[in-house]
Amino acid sequence: MKFKELLDECKIYEAGKPIELVVREYGVNEKDIIKLASNENPYGTSPKVVKKIQELSKNMFMYPDDSMYELKDSLSKKYGVLSDNVIIGAGSDQIIEFLIKAKCHVGSKILMAKTTFAMYEIYGKQEGATILRTPSNEHNLAEFEAMYKEHGADIIFLCLPNNPLGECLDKEDVYNFLAKVNKETLVIVDCAYMEYAAYKDSKKAINPSDLIERFPNAVYLGTFSKAYALGGMRVGYGIGQVGIIKTLYKVRPPFNITTLSLAAAIEALKDEEFVKKCIELNFVEMKRYEEYAKSRGFEYIESFTNFITMKFDNKFISSHVAQNLLERGVIIRDLTSYGLNAIRITIGREDQNTKVFKVLDEVLEQLKKEENL
């Protein structure tokens, strides 16, 4: 059977391996498994959100409020924008899909960093767009500017902070670059991890109201999957000028998030103290990973997220490290598919991280013997 030929060029997104797979394939007790591959919040969901979902579970048979009025109103008040500036998606990646579908066609050009969120390319190729990547793995605005001048672009993606590497540009540098971009070019500023970056360094903080006022061709993306600990509920949002948002509604399907997802996001916004505490603990534990990497002679990328990327250079092979950890019940992300000899580890709880360091040392010692390193 023949399908759309453009799909022949599309890769399948590689999600972090689930706990069930490790139980099934390696016989590890579920209680002993540590999953630090998908950048989920290791502290669980706010108890207030859990309580609300339990109360509303009887309403699962009903469709959600498709206007999503209460959530959009809450986000508009949080960020100082209009409700009409907001669109809700099943994760922020659905908003990416809407934007590319609305803007791109065969022959369109999409510019992004060499190593960044894989769905930018996947959604782009589904529409027949040409993908342009900068030479550097991390965001280098001089390279973005040079490539934009040479090739142009219908869409530019800036992932701030960047997934899967963790680096983040300063806001002023971003704004200086955006000032040079043609107003017909759509700039998507993906801020899925912005809560972490803004906490760590105020120079990184981008306010969506300020962004879209100064740059009407820009769209801000946010999510409830990370700091707000709702990865399993799949709620994201886009903030942009009213004209852009109205266009996106033309490609949005009805009821695109669930009744319980909608309620969870609304309640999560009410518990900012929970979010703040999770972010504080994240950076306390990240220091332990930095010290671990330094003590073992590994390079790491300074991270403004809830994960850290460690590079092995020629010391170890990242896929071997990841596989051996997996077999011992520690799930992390191997970055071989990005062309990097590196691993990405979500920052877990104190007890989880202590175990990770122990198991990782065991794995590295074993690999030294097996591979004569």
Q: What is the pLDDT of residues 305-315, one digit of tens each?
A: 999 999 998 88
**pLDDT single digits (tens) 316-365:** 999 999 999 999 999 999 999 999 999 999 999 999 999 999 999 999 99
Is 12 a residue whose pLDDT tops 80?
no
- pLDDT of 137 > 60? The answer is yes
- How many other β-carbons are positioned within 10 Å of the β-carbon of residue 355? 17
The neighbouring-strand residues paired with 132 are 111
List the single range of 23-32, 70-79, 145-154, 299-308 with lowest mean pLDDT. Answer: 23-32
Q: Is residue 13 scored above 90 in pLDDT? A: no
In this prediction, residues 14-33 reach a mean pLDDT of: 76
Q: Other C-beta atoms within 10 Å of 217: how many? A: 18
pLDDT for res 314 = 83
47-272 folds as: Aspartate Aminotransferase; domain 2 (3.40.640)
pLDDT at position 59 is 87
What's the pLDDT score for residue 8? 77
Would you give the end-to-end CA distance of the chain in angstroms? 49
Closest to 153 measured CA to CA, from 195, 208, 104, 204:
104
Beta strands in the chain (DSSP E): 34-35, 86-89, 109-112, 130-133, 155-159, 186-190, 218-223, 236-239, 299-301, 307-311, 330-331, 333-334, 342-346
The architecture in CATH of the region 5-44+275-371 reads Alpha-Beta Complex (3.90)
| Residue range 34-82, pLDDT digits in tens | 999 999 999 999 999 999 999 988 888 999 999 999 999 999 999 999 9
Cα Rg for the chain, rounded, in angstroms?
A: 21
pLDDT tens-place string over residues 100-116: 999 999 999 999 999 99
**Local structure of 151: helix, strand or coil:** helix
> Which two three-digit tokens encode residue 136?
């550097």
Residue ranges of the chain that CATH labels 3.40.640.10: 47-272
CA pair distance 284, 191, nearest whole angstrom = 22
Mean pLDDT for all residues in the chain = 94
pLDDT for residue 11? 76
- Confidence band for 5, pLDDT divided at 50, 70 and 90: confident
> Which of 41, 371, 89 shows the shortest CA–CA distance to 220?
89
pLDDT of 368 over the 90 cut:
no
- pLDDT, residue 371, reads 66
Residue 373 has pLDDT above 60, yes or no: no
Residue type, 54: Q
- Residue with the larger pLDDT of the pair 7 and 343: 343
pLDDT for the residue numbered 113: 98
Q: What is the pLDDT of residue 7?
A: 78
pLDDT tens digits along 249-289: 999 999 999 999 999 999 999 999 999 999 999 999 999 99
The DSSP bridge partners found for residue 131 are 110
What SS3 state is found at 223?
A: strand
Q: What is the pLDDT of residue 315?
A: 82
CA dist 231 and 90 (Å) reads 10
For residue 122, give every residue at least 6 positions away whose Cβ sits within 8 Å of its Cβ, in sequence order, or none. 10, 11, 13
Residues of the chain above pLDDT 70, percent: 98
Each residue of 238-258: pLDDT tens digit?
A: 999 999 999 999 999 999 999
d(CA 373, CA 363): 13
Structure confidence by residue, pLDDT tens digits, 80-93: 999 999 999 999 99
* Residues forming CATH 3.90.1150.10 domain(s) in the chain: 5-44+275-371
Within 8 A by CB and 6+ apart from 285, the residues are 347, 348, 349, 350, 353
* Secondary structure of residue 169 in the 3-state scheme: coil
* In the block, residue with structure tokens 């899909």: 97
pLDDT of residue 372: 62
